[in-house]
Amino acid sequence: AQKVTQAQTEISVVEKEDVTLDCVYETRDTTYYLFWYKQPPSGELVFLIRRNSFDEQNEISGRYSWNFQKSTSSFNFTITASQVVDSAVYFCALSEVTGNQFYFGTGTSLTVIP
Amino acid sequence: GAGVSQSPSNKVTEKGKDVELRCDPISGHTALYWYRQSLGQGLEFLIYFQGNSAPDKSGLPSDRFSAERTGGSVSTLTIQRTQQEDSAVYLCASSLVGDLSYEQYFGPGTRLTVT
């Protein structure tokens, strides 16, 4: 079974639209961490955010916001007023500290059309 | 400051040959990770080094894969007797602390093509 599922393979939006990227995870650990990374066309992955399993507060950073819900095992990422520079592949990831493993989802390719 | 660097950036090799991929982590980072990214796939976690501890090799896809980290810094991923299914981008990352809870900084990757 997939540890991290990103059901949306590709999304296209028109500039200035809001878009939400879904991430569902599976773990039996009580202590774990969730991450989002961005991989722009240039190729290098860039860290966006980290959340630990004990902190369900939502976070906002500029046009980016994250919604962590343990009840549904989801960690969704919303971009408000999307811009062309947001075009990239976005990866959700899970680390299981006890199991010493790190899992990435298969990524969601976002295209923002000007 | 300098980020994670990897060499070579591209490698084309014939099936059956051995290849070595190199990673220079960010100075001062104790943890180093190797991933494989196949076309259209997510990142596959291969191995990670935490400080001077012996690495957990259970993620390596076969015994043809091995990795070393010398002096707690530079790492080499070696693939012996390469197969076509080894073709992928191999990514290296490092983090300040090695308990998997810290953000990782990624290098540009090595694109390996096995013909």
Average pLDDT over residues A94-104: 81
More confident: B77 or B102: B77
How far apart CA A23 and CA A92 sit, in angstroms, is 6
pLDDT in tens, B30-89: 899 999 998 767 789 899 888 777 787 878 989 999 999 987 789 999 999 999 999 999
The sign of the torsion formed by the CA atoms of A52, A50, A77, A106 equals negative
Question: Min CA distance, A64 vs chain B (Å)?
Answer: 18
Across the interface, do A97 and B101 touch by the CB < 8 Å criterion? yes
Of B45, B107, B108, the CB nearest to A101: B45
d(CA A52, CA A64): 18
| Single-letter amino acid, residue A89 | V
Select from A68, A65, A67 the least CA-distant residue to A53: A68
A17-75 per-position pLDDT tens digit: 999 999 999 998 888 999 999 999 877 899 999 999 998 888 888 999 999 999 999 99
Nearest CB partner across the interface for B42, out of A95, A96, A107: A107
CA–CA gap between residue A32 and residue A25 (Å, rounded): 11
pLDDT exceeds 60 at position A14: yes
Strand ranges (DSSP E) for chain A?
Answer: 4-5, 10-14, 19-21, 24-25, 32-39, 46-52, 59-61, 64-69, 74-79, 88-96, 101-104, 108-113
Distance CA(B97)–CA(A53), nearest Å, equals: 18
Nearest to B108 among A44, A47, A50 (CB): A44
Sign, Cα dihedral of B5, B7, B8, B11: negative
Q: Within 13 Å, how many C-alpha atoms sit on residue A78's CB side? A: 12
Residue B1 scores a pLDDT above 60:
no
